[in-house]
Structure 1
Amino acid sequence: MSENKQKLIEFCKAKGAKIQGIEHLIEYYQKSLGWSEQQAVEYAIKLFEDGTIDSIMVILKEGGNDDDTN
């Protein structure tokens, strides 16, 4: 496992984000944008570092879906 992938998993655990959700995000970047896995993982890390993931999680908790898939 790459160092960045491990760092991403650590961010997920620390922030309470679901690893599966972040993996879907990485997959989206790869398929839709043509990014390499490394590019997608690095970008996902930046989303944690700049607070974007925190903001998304707040929105989901306040008014997101209620089927426990977020």
Structure 2
Amino acid sequence: MNEVEVNSITRQEVVLTVTKMKQKKAVGPDEIPVEAWKVLVLEGVGIEVLWKIIRQAIEEGKNIPDDWRLSINY
């Protein structure tokens, strides 16, 4: 596998990713349903906070879940 440098994520990328998330699926390890993420992000309530957390995790490289460190590209 090749390592790729990750540039900071944009606010729009966060919104687009949340928009594409499928609803009515089992929750992940955070136990937060997709519907909650969509309300927070798409209604503008939590996008700034979520975007800041993701950017900080990527830029500082701290507390990044192992799943975020692995990318499978086809």
The TM-score normalised by the length of structure 2 is 0.37
More helix as a share of residues: 1
Q: Could you say which structure has the larger radius of gyration?
A: 2
